[in-house]
Each structure stands twice: as C-alpha cells, then as structure tokens.
Amino acid sequence: MDNFRSLRVMDVFKGLFQTFGIDYPSMRTIVGLKLTMDERRIPVVFSQTKLKEGNQFLKSLGLYVLYGLATIPFLYFGDSVMLQMGIVFGIAMFMIMTSLIADFSSVLLDVRDRILLAAVPVDDRTLNAAKLVHISIYMTLIAISLLGIPSIVILISKGISFFLLFLVMMIFLMLLIIALTAITYMVMLRVFDGERLKDMINYVQILLSVGVFVGYQVLVRSFEFVGLTISYEFSWWHFLIPPLWFAAPFEWLLGGNTSKPLIVLSIVALIIPIIAIWMYIRKMPLFERDLQKLMSEARGGKQQHPVMMKFWEWVLCKNSEERASFRFSWQLMKRERDFKLKVYPSLGIGFVAPFLFLYIFLSDGTWEDMITSNTYFMIYFGFLIIGPLAVMLSYSSRFKGAWIYAVAPITSVSRVNRAALKASLAQLFLPVYLLQAVIFTVLFGWRIVPDLVVVLFSAILYAVICYAIGAKGTFPFSLPMGESVQSGTAKQIILMLLIGVFVGVHILMSKIPYGTPIYLVVIVVGCLVGWNALLPVKRKTAHM
Amino acid sequence: MQTEPIISLRDLTMEFPGKRVLDGISLDVFRGQIIGYIGPNGAGKSTTLKILLGLLQDYKGTVEIFGNDLRNEDQDVKRRIGYVPENAEIYDTLTPMEYLTFVGELYGMQRTVVEHKARQLMTELGLEDVLHTRISSFSKGMKQKVLIISSLLHDPDILFLDEPLSGLDANSVMVVKDILAMLAASGKTIFYSSHIMDVVEKISNRIVLLYNGKIAADGSFDELKGQGEAGSLEMLFNQLTGFNEHQQTARRFVELVTGGEVDG
C-alpha cells in the first residue's frame, strides 16, 4: 500500500497539511487504501474494450496522451493566441471534467466513507482532505498525460515565459474544475433524490463516450477551415466561456493586447477558481450531509404509464408470455444503468454517423450531386446500433435475478428471447431509424422510400442474426455484465462486416430494373424465415 | 398415515469440480409438512434447493416432485412451485408492481388479476406506499417481503424457501411464521433452509440436518431431542456436527482481542 509514488510526493507537503490541523498519518492511510481500491476499478473510457489486471486508470492515461497530442496543432492555428489557447483549454477542460464526472463520481459520492470511517476516530477535516487529495492526485495525472507533451512543445517553440504562464493557468483551471464538478453535484444532490442523481451521472458518462467519438471526427474535419487568419475580437458572451478566461492572460501579457475586457477576463481567471474552491471547502459538510440521500430509502413514486411500451406491446406481441417478457425487457432496458452505458453510446454514434458521412461527402461535392446520388445508403450506418444492442441483451448487472426464468413455467424460451429483441428494437432502434428515415426523405425525396422500407426489414433480419450470434440460447439479462466485455470485440467486428453484406446486396439490387421491389419481397421473406429459424417458437430448454 | 410423497429424493449426489457437495441423499416429503433444512455453511442446503427447482441439472440419483421425474421438465410441476432465493436476488431496477406482474404472468395469470392480488398482498405486508418505487432502494427486509409475495402469487402447492426470514424485523418474522404455519395447515408443503435455529425449532414439524453432504438427522424436534441429551436445536446442531468447542474458540478469540487471560 505504500508503493504509491503519489503518496511519496504527498509526503513532501506533510507540514502544510499539518498546519491546517489535518491528522497526516490517518489521511495518508486513507488515501493509500483508496488508491489500492482504485486498482480494481475500470474507467469508462475503457468500458468497451477488454482489460483485466492492474490499475485500469493508469492504463487509460495512454489514451489521454493521445488526446493531448491532438491539441498540439491548435497551438499554431491562426494568429490569435487567444483563440489558440482558448481551444486548448477548452479541450483540456472537457476531457478532465467529463472524466472526473464519469470515473470519479464514485469517489466524490462515496457513501461508504460515511459508514465505515465515521465510526473510526478520524475527524471530518481529515476525511475531507483525504477525499480532496485523492481526487487531486488523479486530476494531476490526467492533466500531466493530457498536457505533458503539449507543454514541452510550448516550452520549445514559444519560450519559457509562455510555458510558465501555461502551468499557472493550468493549476487554476484544475481548481475550477474540481470546484465546479463538486458544486454541480451539490446542486444536483439538493434537487434530485439518490436514484435520479445516479441516472444523471449515467447520462454524463454516456455523453463522454459519444463526445469522444464525435469530437474526434469534428476535430479531424476542422483542420480544413481553420487555416485562415482570425484575429481576436471581444464580445460580452466570452465571459460565459471559462476556457477563454484562461486564454486571456496570454493575449494580454504575451500578445501585448491591453484592452480592458482582456484584463478583466484575466482577473476572472484568477478570482473565480479561488472563490469556487473556497466555497467548496466551506460547503463540504453540507455536501456530506446531502450525500446521505444516496443511501436513503425512497418512498412513494408514481405508477408510470409508458404509452410507447403499451403501443408496441399491442402491435408486436400476441401471446401473454411474450407480452410479459416484452414489458419486463422494456422496463429493464429503461432502468439499467450498466446496460445504458454500454448501449447508448452506440445509439448516439449510430444516429450521428450517417449524417457525418453525408457531411464529409458534401465537403467534396455539391448539394445537387448529393441529393441525386445514392449516398442515402449511408443510412445503413444506423445498423451500428443493432450489434451492441442485440449482444448486450443477454447481460445484466443483476443477472442473479435470472433464477426466475428457470423456476417459472416458461413454455418457450424463444418467445422470451423474441420479446426481448422486439422490445429492444422498438425502444431503441426504431425511434432513431424513423427519425433518420424522415430526415433522409426530406433530403433525398420520395424516391428513396422503397429503399428505406428495405432497410427497415434488413434491420429486423440483421437484428435476429446478431442476437443468434450474441446470445447463444441463454435468457435475456441472465449473464454477468462483466463478461460482456470479454466476449465482445471479435463478435462485434463480424457483425459489422455483416452490415457490409447487406449494403452490398442492396446496392447491387438497386442497379437492376425492378431490383428494389424484388429485393423487398426477398428481404421480407428473409425476415420471416430468419426469425422462425433462429428463434423458433417451440419447447426447448435453455442453458443457464 | 401419509400416502404418496410430494417430494422424493433417491441417492441424490452432486459434485462440483473437486468437491462432493451432496453424497447420496434420500428423503421423502409429505403433504402439509414444514421441513426445516439445516446444516453448517457449505453443507449443500442451497444446492439441494437448486436441484429441486431445476436450477442445477447435472446431479446423480432421482428427484421426483408430485411423482414426476424432474428430468422430464414438466411445466405443470413448475406451476405448482414457489421459490424464495437466498440473498434477495432480484431484478431490482424494477418496481415491485412491475416485477410482480411479470412473475405472475409467467405463471399464466391474467395481468389484471396479478396486479390486484399483488397490490393487496403488498398492502398487507405494509408496502403499499412503495408499490411504484424501484426495488434497488429497498432494505433487505423489504426486498425479502417482495420475494415472498412473488413466490406465493400463483398459489403454489410447494414452497421452497432459502433463508426466508433474513433481514426481516421481529414483527415481520412473526407474520411470516404464521403465514407459513397456516399455509402448511391448508395442505401446502414447505421446504426451507435456515441458520436461525430458534425459528426452525418453532415452526418446522420436521427437521432435516445435513452434514458433510449426508443427512445426519431427520425427525421432529421432539424425536431428535430423544436421540441425544441436547436441550435446544442449537445444541443438537453442535452435537450432530461434532462441534463442541464453541467455548474454547470464543475464549481464544477474546484473549486475542484483549491480549490477556479471560475468566469464565
């Protein structure tokens, strides 16, 4: 437990902690223990890949190094230091803040502290300091990985004064991030109850995953239009963008621009973080008290009347066993955070991808070219949703509850599986697809409607194939969530290649006269055959 | 007195890699009996229950329920069984109402009927105001009550319970005890495993003690008492499992805590 380098670095500041009345040895023990526990946690950035041993967080730092490299070109965009640094601080702030929320919510919102440590003779001040130190250690590590290389580049190409100013600004930025995150949580804790709060955190985690994908694409594109010379012009709303506060001193001190607003922005960059962190420290006891909410037993709650669920249940399910499973799956998918964390990012990607690639096409050709072309086949990128969805359907963080399937007199395993697959498509794929289809029809005109119908049936066929490959006869939600990580990647690649087959055949058929209507018939028959062959409704036992 | 056994085990053997958990168990259970199934940790109690429920299949020997061999998976048999698992394992992101309707429907009940019955049963156990709250926010005892209700919704003839009273407060324990006694009186068969000897002693009319994968004792509490000189089930339990050094263990433990000699 003593082998942590960060702890030895912390020892340097021993005296400082003690002057604040903190019981240093206790704090060191607590932080050491937490670091040990962290070695057994998996960060969100890595949730899609497989990894087992060691401190997953430290390994994820490599990824931050990559993101850091991506910031370097921005250091040389245009002529305005303000814009350059604004973008760099913006990226840093987004990355650090989202990872703080995604991976360290559990640290900030740790209630076990309260239960386990409150009985031990350690005062609150020491406990809170331990928490703050723990978070700071990781923030520092993230910041160093993210901006280590860029700061060396700065040192070499922009000189020592630029470099020092950069370091100082980074420290203030980090103070602001810690305080801002904590204050955000304080407000959320006041407003929401425990379950709601966990949902909110879940959405931030999902946003992070989608943000990384989309951000990356956009970042790559943006090289094209930021070649030009932009000089900085102040507008009042710049006060609302924190990264610009931190960029202001560069423009003022190094760029020699002494306009009033810039000086004010620079002062804001110093004062706000200090006020924020001071508020955080002062309000900490209050925060800790509100944390109790996370453990509270909520009473009440209203009965929900999900209209969509009832509609699709009525449309898609005939048998009562199937209906029961349909509702059950629908409700579980709506609630289970781990499921959302694994599936929703691909939902976002699947929605954005077709438009992103159309956009890329547009940057090479004209609007006229695009709407008369067959680029509407891009809508197949929406299938990216189905693979992870169908595979994840077998997993649950509460998989132990699956005994109910074995105990209950279920007449057909396939019926339960069908219901789950139908529910997942109706709840998550269909809304995205319908929205995409409407937008595509607006863009490309009525001519593509028959093809869109083909795509829909292809999706239904594709889904059952994915499910047959992914689920292997088990009941839905009956395998431990952790295992999903281990079996995923290879399968996902096969499933993605399969999308290519669908696209290829469809494009070929669309070239033949009357090809599309013929293919529509083929694919509808394919759906019927596929569903009945892969999920046949007859008595059969599942492997538990 | 009794005719056909409801549950019948013959030479039931179960092996996990490197360990024989059940070693040739034979047992007949009759209508209206409340079987208290006891034994030290890891004796194979839960394993027996899981086999009876069809959750574990690769056992040796025969198991019959209502005269049907378990291996020919009969859904009509399952329809007549209720189960409460240990550790309150449940899809807890759902609300009790959602979960109970799901379970009821799997057992072939009409949705409106289940909803009505679930609401009434929840109300009787004092849970009417959490019908639409996620189960994940419940205490262990509340979860246990939901599971007990879910096992009884379809009015089963046999009830398998794994530590059914854990987490329940004293009043709820009394209620559940009486529920079990009345169910048995009305002809249901109850088979439950537990560690809490006082409860087993009071509500079971037959006690089966499992030790090292074998049945070490079988009979009513009075019968078992006749075999040894133990005054309580707890002492009998110690006697039959060959554990008689609880005092010495306790003494050594306390000495380690205080760092000195202990009187008594």
User: Does residue A456 belong to any structural domain of this protein?
Assistant: yes
User: Does residue A476 belong to any structural domain of this protein?
Assistant: yes
Tell whether B31 lies on the interface with A, counting CB pairs under 8 A: no
Query: What pLDDT does residue A126 have?
Result: 79
Query: What pLDDT does residue A294 have?
Result: 63
Residue of B nearest to A323 (CA): B105
Query: What pLDDT does residue A102 have?
Result: 63
Mutate to test the interface with B, among A295, A297, A404 (most CBs of B within 10 A): A404
Cβ-based contacts under 8 A for chains A and B: 109
Same domain, A258 and A178: yes
The answer on pLDDT for A5 being more than 60 is: yes
Query: What pLDDT does residue A49 have?
Result: 43
A339 vs A331: CA distance, rounded Å = 12
* pLDDT tens-place string over residues B172-185: 888 988 899 899 99
User: Does residue A213 belong to any structural domain of this protein?
Assistant: yes
Same domain, B126 and B66: no
User: Does residue A517 belong to any structural domain of this protein?
Assistant: yes
Same domain, A401 and A505: yes
Instruction: Kindly list the residues from chain B whose CB atom is less than 8 angstroms away from the CB atom of residue A478.
Output: none
Instruction: Kindly list the residues from chain B whose CB atom is less than 8 angstroms away from the CB atom of residue A297.
Output: 137-139, 142
Of the two residues A365 and A51, the one the predictor is more confident about is A365
Distance from CA of B155 to the nearest CA of A (A): 13
Of A170-179, A247-256, A261-270, which gets the smallest average pLDDT? A247-256
User: Does residue B50 belong to any structural domain of this protein?
Assistant: yes
Nearest to B91 among A303, A320, A332 (CB): A332
Of A122-136, A339-353, A373-387, B90-104, which gets the smallest average pLDDT? A122-136
Show which of B109, B136, B155 is a domain's final residue. Answer: B155
Query: What pLDDT does residue A521 have?
Result: 93
Task: Please report, rounded to a whole number, the percentage of residues in chain B having pLDDT higher than 90.
Answer: 22
The answer on pLDDT for A53 being more than 50 is: no
Distance from CA of A322 to the nearest CA of B (A): 9
**In this structure, are strands B68-69 and B60-65 parallel, antiparallel, or unpaired?**
antiparallel
The answer on pLDDT for A249 being more than 50 is: yes
The answer on pLDDT for A304 being more than 90 is: no
A35 vs A1: CA distance, rounded Å = 8
User: Does residue A544 belong to any structural domain of this protein?
Assistant: no
* pLDDT tens-place string over residues B57-87: 888 888 888 888 888 777 788 889 999 988 8
- Cβ-defined contact of A408 to B103 (cutoff 8 Å): yes
Query: What pLDDT does residue A227 have?
Result: 45
Q: How confident is the model over A186-205, as a mean pLDDT?
A: 72
The answer on pLDDT for A461 being more than 90 is: yes
For residue B203, give the DSSP letter: H
The H or E element that residue A426 is part of is: none
B232 vs B236: CA distance, rounded Å = 6
**Residues on chain A bordering chain B, Cβ-to-Cβ distance under 8 angstroms:** 194-195, 296-304, 320-321, 323-325, 327-328, 331-332, 335-336, 396, 398, 400-401, 403-404, 406-411, 477, 541, 544
Same domain, A381 and A284: no
The answer on pLDDT for A17 being more than 70 is: yes
Nearest to B106 among A324, A336, A544 (CB): A324
Contact A99, A43 (CB under 8 A): yes
Show which of A237, A266, A295 is a domain's final residue. Answer: A295
Same domain, B174 and B230: yes
Nearest to B133 among A298, A398, A408 (CB): A298
Most confident of A183-197, A431-445, B57-71: A431-445
Most confident of A263-267, A322-326, B38-42, B225-229: A322-326
User: Does residue B245 belong to any structural domain of this protein?
Assistant: yes
pLDDT-derived band at A453, boundaries 50, 70, 90: very high
Query: What pLDDT does residue A55 have?
Result: 53
Most confident of A42-56, A88-102, B108-122: B108-122
- Cβ-defined contact of B89 to A300 (cutoff 8 Å): no
Read off the tokens for B139.
Answer: 């205490």
Q: From the CB of residue A243, how many other CB atoms can be counted at a distance below 10 Å?
A: 20
Show which of A258, A273, A295 is a domain's final residue. Answer: A295
Of the two residues B189 and A82, the one the predictor is more confident about is B189
pLDDT-derived band at A176, boundaries 50, 70, 90: confident
CATH number at residue B229: 3.40.50.300
Query: What pLDDT does residue A423 have?
Result: 94
Task: Please report, rounded to a whole number, the percentage of residues in chain A having pLDDT higher than 90.
Answer: 15
Tell whether B155 lies on the interface with A, counting CB pairs under 8 A: no
For residue B55, give the DSSP letter: S
Query: What pLDDT does residue A40 have?
Result: 63
- Cβ-defined contact of B76 to A303 (cutoff 8 Å): no
User: Does residue B85 belong to any structural domain of this protein?
Assistant: no
The H or E element that residue B208 is part of is: strand B206-211
A397 conformational bin, left if phi > 0, alpha if psi -120 to 50, beta if neither: alpha
The answer on pLDDT for A541 being more than 50 is: no
Query: What pLDDT does residue A51 have?
Result: 42
Same domain, B167 and B211: yes
Distance from CA of A391 to the nearest CA of B (A): 19
* In the block, residue with structure tokens 């003022």: A252
User: Does residue A542 belong to any structural domain of this protein?
Assistant: no
The answer on pLDDT for A191 being more than 90 is: no
pLDDT-derived band at A208, boundaries 50, 70, 90: low
User: Does residue B237 belong to any structural domain of this protein?
Assistant: yes
Mutate to test the interface with B, among A292, A305, A325, A328 (most CBs of B within 10 A): A328
A415 vs A471: CA distance, rounded Å = 14
A253 vs A463: CA distance, rounded Å = 59
Show which of B155, B178, B209 is a domain's final residue. Answer: B155
Q: How confident is the model over A432-450, as a mean pLDDT?
A: 92
Show which of A257, A273, A295 is a domain's final residue. Answer: A295
Same domain, A106 and A204: yes
Of A169-178, A204-213, A526-535, B193-202, which gets the smallest average pLDDT? A204-213
Q: How confident is the model over A49-55, as a mean pLDDT?
A: 46
Show which of B100, B133, B155 is a domain's final residue. Answer: B155
Domain extent for A16: 5-295
Q: Chain A neighbours among B 38-57 (CB < 8 Å)?
A: 53-55
The answer on pLDDT for B139 being more than 90 is: no
Query: What pLDDT does residue A219 have?
Result: 54
pTM of the full predicted structure?
A: 0.74
Same domain, B64 and B103: no
Tell whether B108 lies on the interface with A, counting CB pairs under 8 A: yes
User: Does residue B142 belong to any structural domain of this protein?
Assistant: yes
Beta-bridge partners for B15: B20
Same domain, B96 and B133: yes
Tell whether B129 lies on the interface with A, counting CB pairs under 8 A: yes
The answer on pLDDT for A2 being more than 80 is: no
* pLDDT tens-place string over residues A477-498: 888 876 655 555 677 778 888 9
Angle formed at CA A289 by CA A285 and CA A294, multiple of 5 degrees: 140
What is residue B4's three-state secondary structure?
coil
Write down the mean pLDDT value for chain A.
79
The answer on pLDDT for A544 being more than 50 is: no
B183 vs A157: CA distance, rounded Å = 84
- Cβ-defined contact of B91 to A296 (cutoff 8 Å): no
Instruction: Kindly list the residues from chain A whose CB atom is less than 8 angstroms away from the CB atom of residue B76.
Output: 409
Tell whether B91 lies on the interface with A, counting CB pairs under 8 A: yes
Q: How confident is the model over A329-357, as a mean pLDDT?
A: 85
Query: What pLDDT does residue B190 have?
Result: 93
The answer on pLDDT for A1 being more than 60 is: no
Same domain, B46 and B98: no
- Cβ-defined contact of B97 to A303 (cutoff 8 Å): yes
The answer on pLDDT for A212 being more than 70 is: no
Same domain, B260 and B162: yes
Query: What pLDDT does residue B166 have?
Result: 81
Instruction: Kindly list the residues from chain B whose CB atom is less than 8 angstroms away from the CB atom of residue A407.
Output: 53-55, 78, 81, 83
A38 vs A58: CA distance, rounded Å = 10
Domain extent for B39: 1-80+158-264
The H or E element that residue A485 is part of is: helix A481-511
User: Does residue A197 belong to any structural domain of this protein?
Assistant: yes
Same domain, A176 and A235: yes
Same domain, B210 and B238: yes
User: Does residue A300 belong to any structural domain of this protein?
Assistant: no
- Cβ-defined contact of A401 to B91 (cutoff 8 Å): yes
Q: What's the total number of domains in chain B?
A: 2
Distance from CA of A293 to the nearest CA of B (A): 11
Q: How confident is the model over B104-123, as a mean pLDDT?
A: 92
pLDDT-derived band at B96, boundaries 50, 70, 90: very high
Query: What pLDDT does residue A149 have?
Result: 87
Q: How confident is the model over A447-452, as a mean pLDDT?
A: 91
Query: What pLDDT does residue A217 have?
Result: 64
Same domain, B126 and B142: yes
Same domain, B242 and B231: yes
Same domain, A28 and A131: yes
Of A116, A473, A146, the closest CA to residue A295 belongs to: A116
Q: What's the total number of domains in chain A?
A: 2
Same domain, A157 and A41: yes
Instruction: Kindly list the residues from chain A whose CB atom is less than 8 angstroms away from the CB atom of residue B106.
Output: 321, 324-325, 404, 408-410
Contact A74, A83 (CB under 8 A): no
Q: How confident is the model over B16-24, as a mean pLDDT?
A: 83
Same domain, A348 and A456: yes
Same domain, B169 and B253: yes
C-alpha distances in angstroms, A98 versus A130, A519, A534, B12?
Answer: 22, 46, 41, 55
- Cβ-defined contact of B134 to A301 (cutoff 8 Å): yes
Same domain, B217 and B259: yes
